[in-house]
Amino acid sequence: MKEPRSASRSAPAAEAPGLAARRAAADAVEAVLENGHPLEETLERLTRELDERDRGLARMLAATTLRRLGSLRALLRSLMERAIPEKARRVEVLMLVGAAQILFMDVPDHAAVGTTVTLVGEQASTAGFKGLANAVLRRIAREGKAILPDVADQPEWMVEGWTAAYGPASGEAISRALASEAPLDLTARQHPEALAEKLGGRLLPTGSVRLVEAGNVTALAGFNEGEWWVQDAAAALPALLLRPAAGMTIADLCAAPGGKTAQLAAAGARVVAVDRSAPRLRRLKANLERLSLAADIIEADATRLKAGPFDGVLIDAPCSATGTIRRHPEVAWTKAPADIVSLASLQARLLANAAELVRPGGVLVYSTCSLEPEEGERQIAAFLALRPDFVRDPVVPGECGIPAEWINGEGEVRTLPTHLPDEDPRYAGLDGFFAARLRKG
C-alpha cells in the first residue's frame, strides 16, 4: 500500500484556502481505488489534522468524485488524446476531483482549476502534467455538462446485473438514483412525530424522520440525549418485521454497529446482540450507551454460535452493500462479482445456523442492503428448498407503513433507490434493501 501523502506532509503555512482539503480528497480517492478501503475510514485517517470546514470539504469532494466516477472518467478519456502513464496516475485522480468540483459542486471554476494545477505541480512525477491539467479543466469549465458522456456512474457489470434483475428502465433509473446524494434519515427511540416536529424533518410512512442538508449530525437536537440514531428508512424495516415487543427474546446475529439492535431494544424486547468483530461491537456498545438502551453482547461467529432458542432471530447479513452506494459511493468501485459469490456463501452459512436458533413457531428475518438477487431473493429461495420446516410469513401492504410497491410477489420487502420519489430530489430515494420474514413450523 502506498503511503498516503496527506499523512506524511505538513501543509505549508501560506497554502491557498481549501488546498489541504483537496489534497486529502485526492489521497482518499486514490487510496480507496487502489486498496478497496471504505471511504469513511480512509477520510477519517487522512483528515485528522484538518479543521472541521476542510474535513467537510474533503468528504464532499471525495464522495462526489466517487459518486460520479463513471461519467467523469469517460469525460477525461474523451478529452485526452493519450492515457496518462501509470506512474503519474495521481494526475488523473486530481483531474477527476477538479472536474467534479466544476460540474457538480458549488465551487468557482477558477478555484477548482487553480488548486488542481497547484496539486499536480507538487510532485516531481506529476509536475510535467500541469499544462495538460490546466487545459483539460479549463475546457470542462468552458463547456460544462454538455460534454459529459451519458454513461453510468457505476461499473458496467453492476448496472447489467440491475437491468437483468429489475428490467432495462429500472436498471438505468437505479443507476441514476445511486449517483444522487442521500438525505439523512433518523430513527426515534420514541415518538417519531415529535422528533420530526422538533428537527423540522419529514415523517415517512414507515416512521423514519427525514432531514435534508442537516449538517453535523452530532450537533442536532437530541443527539446527546440519545433521542434518535442515524438509520436509512429502508434499513429500519427488517427489525420492524420481527414485530418486537416486551416479553420477546430476539437474537440479532450480525448486530454491529447496532442500528437494528437499538430498534429491537427500544421496542422492549430482550436482545442478544452477536457480531464477530470486536471493534464494531465496541461501537455498538457506545451507541447503545448513548441511547440508554441495553442488550446482551456476544462476540462470536454466528455461523457456529450455539444459543437460544429465540422467539425471533435477525440476520442483517454482511453483503456487497450495493444498495447503499448513495451513502457509500466507493462500494461501486471496491466490489467485484467474485465478492458477491463469496458473500452469498457466507450468507447461506449464516442462514443455516440461524435456523437452528429459532424456536418452533418463532420468526427468522433475513436482510441485506444489497440490490443483488443472489444476496436476497435467491438466497431465501435456496434456503426454503433446503428447510421445509420454514415458510415465508409474507409482509402485507400497509404493515409498518410499508407500501405495496416495496413488496415483491413472495411477500418479501425489496426497496430500491428509485422508491419514495419526490418533487424535491433532496427528499427522494431509499437504500436498496431486501428483507424476508420466515416462520419455523
Ligand X SMILES: C[S@@+](CC[C@H](N)C(=O)[O-])C[C@H]1O[C@@H](n2cnc3c(N)ncnc32)[C@H](O)[C@@H]1O
Site string for ligand X, 314-333 (x = CB under 6 A): --x-x---------------
Catalytic residue among 136, 369, 416, 420: 369
Give the closest residue to 189 by CA, choosing from 133, 262, 240, 82. Answer: 262
Return phi, psi of residue 306, to 5°: -115, 120
Q: Write down the least CB distance from residue 267 to ligand X, Å.
A: 14
Of the pair 210, 328, the CB lying nearest ligand X is at 328
Report whether 256 belongs to an annotated binding site. yes
Contact assessment for residue 166 and residue 160, using Cβ atoms and an 8 Å cutoff: no
Write the CA distances from 239 to 12, 16, 223, 363, 434, integer angstroms: 50, 48, 22, 11, 12
Residue 244 interacts with ligand X (CB under 6 A)? no
Q: Which of 32, 57, 60, 302 binds ligand X (CB under 6 A)?
A: 302
Question: Using CB under 6 A, which of the segments 73-81, 174-182, 268-276, 429-437 binds ligand X?
Answer: 268-276
Q: Write down the least CB distance from residue 357 to ligand X, Å.
A: 12
Give the closest residue to 72 by CA, choosing from 95, 90, 88, 91. Answer: 95
CA dihedral of residues 155, 47, 431, 346 (deg, nearest 10): 70
* Catalytic site includes residue 400: no
Q: Which of 59, 260, 328, 437 binds ligand X (CB under 6 A)?
A: 260
Q: Write down the least CB distance from residue 286 to ligand X, Å.
A: 13
Q: Write down the least CB distance from residue 305 to ligand X, Å.
A: 7
DSSP 168-234: HHHHHHHHHHHTSPP-EEEEESS-HHHHHHHHT-EE-TTS-EEESS---GGGSTTTTTT-EEE--TT
Of the pair 323, 429, the CB lying nearest ligand X is at 323
Residue 276 interacts with ligand X (CB under 6 A)? yes
Residue 291 interacts with ligand X (CB under 6 A)? no
Residue 44 interacts with ligand X (CB under 6 A)? no
Report whether 337 belongs to an annotated binding site. no
Q: Which of 301, 356, 389, 405 binds ligand X (CB under 6 A)?
A: 301
- Tell me how far apart the alpha carbons of residues 326 and 137 are, in angstroms, rounded to a whole number: 26
Q: Which of 277, 308, 394, 411 binds ligand X (CB under 6 A)?
A: 277
Contact assessment for residue 320 and residue 340, using Cβ atoms and an 8 Å cutoff: yes
Q: What is the DSSP letter of 406?
A: G
- Tell me how far apart the alpha carbons of residues 327 and 340 are, in angstroms, rounded to a whole number: 19
- Tell me how far apart the alpha carbons of residues 139 and 112 are, in angstroms, rounded to a whole number: 12
Minimal CB distance residue for ligand X: 254
- Return binding residues for S-adenosyl-L-methionine: 254-260, 275, 316
> For binding to ligand X (CB under 6 A), which residues are involved?
254-260, 274-277, 280, 301-303, 316, 318
Active site residues per annotation: 369
